[in-house]
Chains A and B, each alone.
Chain A
Amino acid sequence: MPRIGVFICHCGENIGATVDCEVVAQAAGRLPGVAHAVDYKYMCSDPGQSLIKEAIREKRLTGVVVGACSPRMHEPTFRRACAEAGLNPFLCEMANLREHCSWVHEKGEVTTQKAIDLVRMLVEKVKRNRPLTPIRVPITKRALVLGGGIAGIQAALDIANAGHKVVLVERDPSIGGHMAQLSETFPTLDCSQCILTPRMVEVAQHPDITLYTYSELESLDGFIGNFRATIRKKARSVDESLCTGCGACIQKCAQKKIPSEFNAGLGRRTAIYVPFPQAVPNKPVIDRARCTYYKSGRCKLCEKVCPTKAIRFDQEDELVTIDVGAVVVATGYDVKATSFFPEYGYGEYKDVITGLQFERLASASGPTLGEIRRPSDNEVPKKIVFIACAGSRDPAKGIHYCSKICCMYTAKHAMLYSHKVHDGEAYVFYMDIRAGGKMYEEFVRRAVEEDHVRYVRGRVSRIYPKNGKLIVKGVDTLLNSRPVEVEADLVVLATAMTAQPDAEDLAQKLKVSYDGDKFLNEAHPKLRPVEMNTAGIFVAGACQAPKDIPETVAQASGAASKVAGMFSRDELSREPVVAVVNRQPPPVWSTCVGCFLCETACAYQAIEREEIRGRDGGLIRTIAKVNESVCQGCGTCVALCRSKSIDLQGYTNEQVYAELLAL
């Protein structure tokens, strides 16, 4: 006979105020097979758990039902308590009396009756639970980091410094990401490249980091601890092992007027190029769409001048397969595209630029060598207007969220401008100033008070050119909504940070979820900020949501320590909620008829074929077999099986029907 223990939790007032817990416990005590039923104020507390443990020992319980909160909340807690008392943890089930009952219904008999029903269902289920043992899975102690911006760099270095192998994949020819493009960083105004480039070099020289630049993830298969990644190494057209990075090819290249991506379109580059002088690796790549040879079949100047004969026009994309145990996704962000602001004339007027372009103007390595000169005529602008929230917090543009960093970088831009152009005037149009962060508010105050930046609270409605100037028409909402007009020489838009254009494709390759704005979703917004809902995949940086450098680095280190923590063990143990094909003594062997419908339904390729052979080695039958380290336990095969030969441990047909029949 089963001896089930039922433990009803009041959860303080949370359950107790609406559900009569005593009545529930009494009703549970009368159920067949229930040997013990009590209620207690806080079952998850230490004394509450002791209550369960003592009852298991004294009453020799064969199963436990805890009527408390959601199993998604405390199932691990109570299962652990059972295990400590010597009861197999999988013989413990939870009835959700809080989220599904007391919190959503009125106080009264009906609600108490529902609580009794929920407990009865789980009692019937738990009677049919079988002791299970967790599945042990080996771990490949190598991490894949996607994205070589500051997030990816930090994560890769932290994991590698913890003593594990890392493969870092970056799709651009160099690592560095957006941070390499920035001039100075708020709130300290230290030079971005000065703090970033040493880390880039560290990545390149680290013995445990394998760097794949100009490469992209092609596919990812497998599961936590045992992923298999296929990486496409795009043809660089240069043999990296021979190239010394001397740059002779770049000097000779005939194509010299290609807009430089690194300079956000403000500078020029050649067809064979290194994105920026501090690039890692400092080896060029041929832009085949722009190269004269690929377009016309003639030129090959670079090949002629190359002293080490490293140019490879016939190089092809290469696919590399790597086994990894964990993945850190750090693919970063994009800035909203040009056609977004017809009223601001971005793309139409040369002197309306984005914040990222201003970074390049202010950067000592930029196209103007750090002097603020406007793109149209190379003059130093005497009046400059910064427009915050260009796109962000603007439902009309389809972006509801705050891009978080713009208030700060706009203050920084205005400050840098006034440091460089002493007789210049800087205006900032803003909606609100959001300067939460250490020394952030002080930084904005400094821009206003010490550098005399004029902050105008209001939106800009239109920008149009007049006599070589840009007329910025806006409103000052702090001055009775009076219209304001500024004759500006240069306008900088603090454009919204958006997800990468191919974020959806990536999410599908990784089988992770993303939100309505295409930012990747963390597993829990508060308690699991660096994990994703697919086990073994972690997230860092602005691919998850807009964030600044300190936050990005913190999240990357968090993700890295999660990976290192996972790698500190040799095996993972997984919940044994997996499908099994029944086996019976000969001559039946199994009720499986070998139709392999389950094989077609399985999304994980977990169904294998098992041959049953007689003593003479002759084949008797071929039946299905579940690879338990691959099976994720969805149970689709169970519902599909025509002969009911496959069942899902923890949710067997017997258990589920028993739950149903208890109603």
Chain B
Amino acid sequence: MAEFEPKIIAFVCNWCTYAGADLTGTSRIHYAPNVRVVRLPCTGRIDFMLILQAFGQGADGVIVSGCHPGDCHYTAGNFHARRRWMLFRRLLDFVGIDVRRVTFSWVSAAEGAKWAELVNSVVADVRTLGPYEEFPQRLGGPGQKPLEVA
């Protein structure tokens, strides 16, 4: 059987981590292609329902990454995200999601190499955890399609 390729969804802020991932590209640092990036203005924008939805959608792991504490483009959005994450991680277990499947990190716009390392390490970790099926099944199976726009 082929090796399990986890599906990773990353929620990143536009100013630090998205720019950092751009720098990874400009520096031509290769990393695992399993990640799909959702660009948001700030980690403060991340409603943790998004993370649950990502798992419902068949993600095996989620990355949340923004500016380092103190460097937020919007002054304090990443602090809000961090505080929310501290509360949310306790609920993960209750919902039935292994907390190791969610990685919260800071990657600045200058840390292209760190982004590659982060993705690679998350992919490797999630690969050992194996595919994640319990939660999507409870939601009625992965692959829900967005409602068509009239």
Q: Do A and B come from one complex?
A: yes
One digit per residue, 1 when the CB lies within 8 angstroms of any chain A CB and 0 when it does not, for chain B 10-26 equals 00001100110111111
Q: How far is the CB of A604 from chain B (nearest CB, A)?
A: 8
Which residues on the B side are within 8 Å of A71 (C-beta)? 39
Contact of A651 among B36, B37, B41, B53 (CB under 8 A): B41
Query: Would A2 and B36 be within 8 Å (CB), given that A99-B24, A103-B25, A648-B41 are in contact?
Result: no
| B77 near A634: Cβ-Cβ < 8 Å | yes
Which residues on the A side are within 8 Å of B145 (C-beta)? 661
| B42 near A660: Cβ-Cβ < 8 Å | no
Contact of B36 among A73, A118, A658 (CB under 8 A): A118
| A117 near B36: Cβ-Cβ < 8 Å | yes
| A533 near B73: Cβ-Cβ < 8 Å | yes
| B148 near A100: Cβ-Cβ < 8 Å | no
Complex CA–CA separation, A661 to B81 (angstroms): 22
One digit per residue, 1 when the CB lies within 8 angstroms of any chain B CB and 0 when it does not, for chain A 329-350 equals 0000000000000000000000
| A103 near B47: Cβ-Cβ < 8 Å | no
| A663 near B36: Cβ-Cβ < 8 Å | yes
| B9 near A603: Cβ-Cβ < 8 Å | no
Which residues on the B side are within 8 Å of A663 (C-beta)? 7, 9, 36, 54, 57-59
| B45 near A639: Cβ-Cβ < 8 Å | yes
Contact of B146 among A70, A72, A124, A639 (CB under 8 A): A124
Which residues on the A side are within 8 Å of B144 (C-beta)? 661
| A100 near B21: Cβ-Cβ < 8 Å | yes
One digit per residue, 1 when the CB lies within 8 angstroms of any chain B CB and 0 when it does not, for chain A 613-643 equals 0000000000000000000111110111000
Q: How far is the CB of B101 from chain A (nearest CB, A)?
A: 16
Query: Would A635 and B146 be within 8 Å (CB), given that A657-B53, A663-B7 are in contact?
Result: no
User: Is the C-beta of A236 less than 8 angstroms from some C-beta in chain B?
Assistant: no
Which residues on the A side are within 8 Å of B28 (C-beta)? 103-104
| A662 near B149: Cβ-Cβ < 8 Å | no
| B21 near A121: Cβ-Cβ < 8 Å | no
| B53 near A70: Cβ-Cβ < 8 Å | no
| A639 near B38: Cβ-Cβ < 8 Å | no
What is the size category of the interface that chain B forms with chain A? 35 or more
Complex CA–CA separation, A124 to B31 (angstroms): 26
| A121 near B40: Cβ-Cβ < 8 Å | no
Which residues on the A side are within 8 Å of B59 (C-beta)? 663
Query: Would A638 and B25 be within 8 Å (CB), given that A33-B149, A111-B33 are in contact?
Result: no
Which residues on the B side are within 8 Å of A638 (C-beta)? 45, 47
Complex CA–CA separation, A99 to B22 (angstroms): 5
One digit per residue, 1 when the CB lies within 8 angstroms of any chain B CB and 0 when it does not, for chain A 77-101 equals 0000000000000000000101111
User: Is the C-beta of B92 less than 8 angstroms from some C-beta in chain A?
Assistant: no
Which residues on the A side are within 8 Å of B128 (C-beta)? none
Complex CA–CA separation, A504 to B80 (angstroms): 22
Q: How far is the CB of A89 from chain B (nearest CB, A)?
A: 17
User: Is the C-beta of B116 less than 8 angstroms from some C-beta in chain A?
Assistant: yes
Closest to B75 in A: A603
| A105 near B30: Cβ-Cβ < 8 Å | yes
Complex CA–CA separation, A659 to B23 (angstroms): 23
Contact of A70 among B22, B31, B48, B57 (CB under 8 A): B22
User: Is the C-beta of B76 less than 8 angstroms from some C-beta in chain A?
Assistant: yes
Which residues on the B side are within 8 Å of A651 (C-beta)? 40-41, 45
Contact of A636 among B25, B80, B146 (CB under 8 A): B80
| A603 near B76: Cβ-Cβ < 8 Å | yes
| B57 near A636: Cβ-Cβ < 8 Å | no
Complex CA–CA separation, A443 to B55 (angstroms): 66
Q: How far is the CB of A93 from chain B (nearest CB, A)?
A: 10
| A634 near B30: Cβ-Cβ < 8 Å | no
| B37 near A636: Cβ-Cβ < 8 Å | no
Q: How far is the CB of B62 from chain A (nearest CB, A)?
A: 10
Complex CA–CA separation, A176 to B54 (angstroms): 59
Complex CA–CA separation, A230 to B119 (angstroms): 45
Closest to B24 in A: A104
Query: Would A635 and B38 be within 8 Å (CB), given that A103-B25, A104-B25 are in contact?
Result: no
| A100 near B37: Cβ-Cβ < 8 Å | yes
| A636 near B74: Cβ-Cβ < 8 Å | yes
Complex CA–CA separation, A243 to B39 (angstroms): 60
Q: How far is the CB of A429 from chain B (nearest CB, A)?
A: 34
User: Is the C-beta of A128 less than 8 angstroms from some C-beta in chain B?
Assistant: yes
Contact of A648 among B21, B24, B45, B148 (CB under 8 A): B45
Which residues on the B side are within 8 Å of A101 (C-beta)? 33
User: Is the C-beta of A127 less than 8 angstroms from some C-beta in chain B?
Assistant: yes
| A658 near B33: Cβ-Cβ < 8 Å | no
User: Is the C-beta of A420 less than 8 angstroms from some C-beta in chain B?
Assistant: no
User: Is the C-beta of A231 less than 8 angstroms from some C-beta in chain B?
Assistant: no
Closest to B80 in A: A636
User: Is the C-beta of A511 less than 8 angstroms from some C-beta in chain B?
Assistant: yes
Query: Would A513 and B71 be within 8 Å (CB), given that A104-B24, A639-B84, A657-B53 are in contact?
Result: yes
User: Is the C-beta of B123 less than 8 angstroms from some C-beta in chain A?
Assistant: no
Q: How far is the CB of B112 from chain A (nearest CB, A)?
A: 10
User: Is the C-beta of A416 less than 8 angstroms from some C-beta in chain B?
Assistant: no
Chain A residues 350 to 404 lying within 8 A of chain B, measured CB to CB, are: none
Chain B residues 122 to 150 lying within 8 A of chain A, measured CB to CB, are: 144-146, 148-150
Which residues on the A side are within 8 Å of B23 (C-beta)? 99
Which residues on the A side are within 8 Å of B150 (C-beta)? 1
One digit per residue, 1 when the CB lies within 8 angstroms of any chain B CB and 0 when it does not, for chain A 469-503 equals 00000000000000000000000000000000000
Q: How far is the CB of A630 from chain B (nearest CB, A)?
A: 12
Closest to A632 in B: B74
Complex CA–CA separation, A533 to B33 (angstroms): 31
Complex CA–CA separation, A99 to B53 (angstroms): 26
Query: Would A660 and B77 be within 8 Å (CB), given that A121-B38, A651-B41 are in contact?
Result: no
One digit per residue, 1 when the CB lies within 8 angstroms of any chain B CB and 0 when it does not, for chain A 57-81 equals 0000000000000111100000000
| B25 near A634: Cβ-Cβ < 8 Å | no
| B41 near A577: Cβ-Cβ < 8 Å | yes
Contact of B77 among A603, A653, A662 (CB under 8 A): A603
Chain B residues 47 to 69 lying within 8 A of chain A, measured CB to CB, are: 47-48, 50, 53-54, 57-59
Which residues on the A side are within 8 Å of B31 (C-beta)? 104-105
A105-B33, A128-B149, A603-B76 given; 11 more Cβ-contact pairs under 8 Å: A104-B29, A127-B149, A533-B15, A633-B41, A634-B77, A635-B40, A639-B47, A656-B50, A660-B54, A661-B146, A663-B58
10 contacts between A and B (CB under 8 A): A2-B149, A96-B22, A103-B28, A104-B33, A577-B41, A635-B77, A639-B46, A661-B53, A663-B7, A663-B59
Which residue numbers of B lie inside 8 Å of A, CB to CB?
Answer: 7, 9, 14-15, 18-19, 21-26, 28-31, 33, 36-42, 44-48, 50, 53-54, 57-59, 71, 73-77, 80-81, 84, 116, 144-146, 148-150
**4 shortest interchain CB distances as A-B pairs:** A99-B25, A635-B45, A636-B44, A634-B74
